[in-house]
């Protein structure tokens, strides 16, 4: 069977992995999950006990969670070097370094902002503190990412890689939370424009929006969440 990427909407980090699947060009399916609804239901724990997306159902039907593990799974199947680089090369090391930074400090910086937004029992004073703290963290992590961006068109080299995919699903949260003007980080602004203009990212964004875009041909359709849970859940 084709692997199935379980992706979350709205604004899931998983969007970048959908783009990576398009770049990879091997047959895959998708499973769409409303992160504000069905992902919180007890049955979703059978796919990910931490109630998070993304998750990947492998060709053997195993549920694999955590972005970095899914990225490693994709990299291991990238025999044509479409989304990654020669093992043990400087490019491969840099790609892993950037993915590690984006998936930890950069992504984590947004946690206080999400917490303030999604607080079940509103607490204006705490929410204001979280927003201020989150904005400081996000700006600091953007400063650091800006300093890590080199002179190449994409994060590592001339073409998009897993590092660009992991970044692009998360980076748009800057605007969603209204933290700062992206132009404050000129290299990142240019990089994001380039990645966002890529056909695979346009495809992934349209999928997230519930549209039916025409992709590379690798996408073989959606599988309903109930079926994924029933067939592959723990």
Ligand X SMILES: N[C@@H](CCC(=O)N[C@@H](CS)C(=O)NCC(=O)O)C(=O)O
Contacts with ligand X by CB under 6 A lie at: 8, 12-13, 35, 52-54, 66-67, 103
Give the residue with the Cβ less far from ligand X, 12 or 215: 12
In which residue are the tokens 């997230």 written?
208
Q: How far apart are CA 55 and CA 1, in angstroms?
A: 16
CA distances from 186 to 76, 101, 116, 193, 224 (A): 33, 19, 28, 11, 41
For the stretch 171-176, contacts whose Cβ atoms lie closer than 8 Å and that sit 24 or more positions apart, written own/partner, are 172/11, 173/11, 173/110, 173/113, 174/138, 174/142, 176/11
Phi first, then psi, for residue 42 (nearest 5°) are: -55, -35
Least distance in Å: CB of 83 to ligand X?
17
Give the residue with the Cβ less far from ligand X, 166 or 188: 166
Tell me which H or E stretch contains 5: strand 4-9
Q: In the structure encoding, which two tokens stand for residue 47, read together? A: 């796919």
Give the residue with the Cβ less far from ligand X, 111 or 148: 111
Give the residue with the Cβ less far from ligand X, 26 or 65: 65
Least distance in Å: CB of 55 to ligand X?
8
Least distance in Å: CB of 103 to ligand X?
5
Least distance in Å: CB of 86 to ligand X?
25
Least distance in Å: CB of 57 to ligand X?
15
Give the residue with the Cβ less far from ligand X, 67 or 205: 67
């Amino acid at each position: 069977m084709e692997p199935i990427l379980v992706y979350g909407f709205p604004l899931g980090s998983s969007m970048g992995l959908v783009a990576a699947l398009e770049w990879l060009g091997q047959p895959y399916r998708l499973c769409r999950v409303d992160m504000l609804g069905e992902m919180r239901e007890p049955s979703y724990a059978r796919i990910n006990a931490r109630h998070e997306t993304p998750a990947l159902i492998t060709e053997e039907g195993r549920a694999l969670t955590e972005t970095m593990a899914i990225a490693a799974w994709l990299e291991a199947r990238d025999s044509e070097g479409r989304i990654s680089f020669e093992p043990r090369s400087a490019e491969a090391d840099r790609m892993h370094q950037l993915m590690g930074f984006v998936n930890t400090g950069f992504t984590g910086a947004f946690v206080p902002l999400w917490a303030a937004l999604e607080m079940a029992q509103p607490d204006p004073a705490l929410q204001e503190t979280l927003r201020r703290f989150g904005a400081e963290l996000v700006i600091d992590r953007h400063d650091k990412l800006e300093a890590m961006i080199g002179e190449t068109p994409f994060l590592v080299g001339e073409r998009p890689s897993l590092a660009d995919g992991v970044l692009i699903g998360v980076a748009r949260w800057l605007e969603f939370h209204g933290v700062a003007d992206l132009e404050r980080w000129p290299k990142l602004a240019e990089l994001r424009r380039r990645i966002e203009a890529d056909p695979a990212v346009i495809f992934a964004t349209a999928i997230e929006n519930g549209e039916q875009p025409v992709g590379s041909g690798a996408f073989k359709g959606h599988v309903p969440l109930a079926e994924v849970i029933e067939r592959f859940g723990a």
